[in-house]
A and B are shown apart, each in its own frame.
Chain A
């Protein structure tokens, strides 16, 4: 099975690629429409600002293809960090920016109760939602910590899309899932064993 990491020029994809290879998946980093269409799965990475990332995706010319693969062909897509936020309809990060709109959601600044800090950086425990617990199969009993680093968070207007929550001076969405679309606010590729387990669960899931 091959996962294509969508190369739109943003983000630290080396770690994602290393982690997917570590759990036994073939990985290509590509912006070639043919290679994206041929891949079994897609991964949307992202580090940086929402507006810049959407501008890069729109400028790449890949937007119609990605919409078709994700929404019509229902190819499995995993979004990571900013990649998850891009699934939303819009973001209020430094202005108002239109997102991919794959989920009925929006991205807002984190405003945790003090003394919690922003950015939310570090290892935090997530609470899986029962409807999506396949994504968290095989994690050790007790709290499962994943690595987060972000200043904005996604709010799902359809609460059934929320796959896990997390606490940081308030509750926010840590992962989302709707059919073939799955995404995590945390970085599985930086979350050691828990992250590798989650990537394995995603790769083993039949959508």
Chain B
């Protein structure tokens, strides 16, 4: 049986890991990407995601030197994103050792880019990342460029459109819940995972073990966890043990090499 995945998500800024709240610049230092990846690898985590949060704004792509160093140190799959807008950039990241590439702003500018990337590298390589806000009228508009540019699309419609464009997975991040540790957007996760044929990676909101279970029970194939790992004593092992005990299929054995 396919296991539900627990994925630490790291934001990279200037070669370091940082934590934000609601995508704003009130940042907190969170460590070195390579050594942190090694620690999580030793916990037997399922995958890793690295997003360079300044790349799009600064008109560049995430540094492949960091990716190469991570690939040398860990034997688990990882996804990389940040400023990716050409097939050559995707190829460079895959060659550096990334397994999947996350595309956000470039897809907003042209969903056809997702199609071209999927046809060249395979659907399974392309993770379409969607950042959205939750408005009081119940709508969920999508934003690109690190939450700065309105795409003019609703999160559900946009996810289905990117699936049609051959995205292999959808990474769904709530801007309003990001870094707040108040729980995932369960309504949207349930609605979307019901309608998507591709896996949904739910992001933003994990603050407790129960939050993690709720998102996976709602239908997500995977959850990302960031603040909860960095700022609480909930380790990946604790999360997995809790999920396993409570009937959620997760990988049971530890993956650490001695």
Contact = CB atoms under 8 A, between A and B. Distances in A.
Interface of A: 12, 14-15, 18-19, 22, 47-49, 52, 82, 94, 115-125, 140, 142-143, 145, 147, 149-151, 167-168, 187, 189-196
B103 to A, nearest CB: 16
Interface in B116-140: 119-125
Interface in B74-105: 75-77, 94-100
A122 B94 contact: no
15 contacts: A15-B75, A15-B97, A22-B75, A48-B125, A115-B219, A117-B196, A121-B124, A124-B1, A125-B1, A142-B252, A145-B251, A147-B76, A190-B99, A191-B75, A192-B41
Given A123-B46, A167-B1, A47 B94 contact: yes
B147 interface: no
A147 B99 CA distance: 12
Given A14-B95, A47-B125, A119-B168, 16 more contacts: A14-B97, A48-B125, A115-B193, A116-B2, A117-B198, A117-B199, A117-B221, A119-B123, A122-B47, A122-B221, A151-B124, A189-B75, A190-B99, A192-B41, A192-B44, A196-B75
Instruction: State the majority secondary structure of interface residues on A.
Output: mixed
Interface residues of B, number: 45
A136 B207 CA distance: 38
B99 A12 contact: yes
B5 A48 contact: no
Nearest to B193: A115
B235 interface: no
Greatest chain B CB density within 10 A among A94, A119, A167 is at: A119
A86 to B, nearest CB: 13
Contacts of B3: 122-124, 145
B197 A117 contact: yes
B197 A47 contact: no
Given A18-B71, A47-B125, A119-B124, A140 B198 contact: no
A47 B222 CA distance: 22
Contacts of B185: none
Contacts of B121: 47-48
B6 to A, nearest CB: 10
Nearest 7 CB-CB pairs, A to B? A192-B255, A119-B124, A14-B97, A123-B3, A149-B124, A190-B77, A117-B199
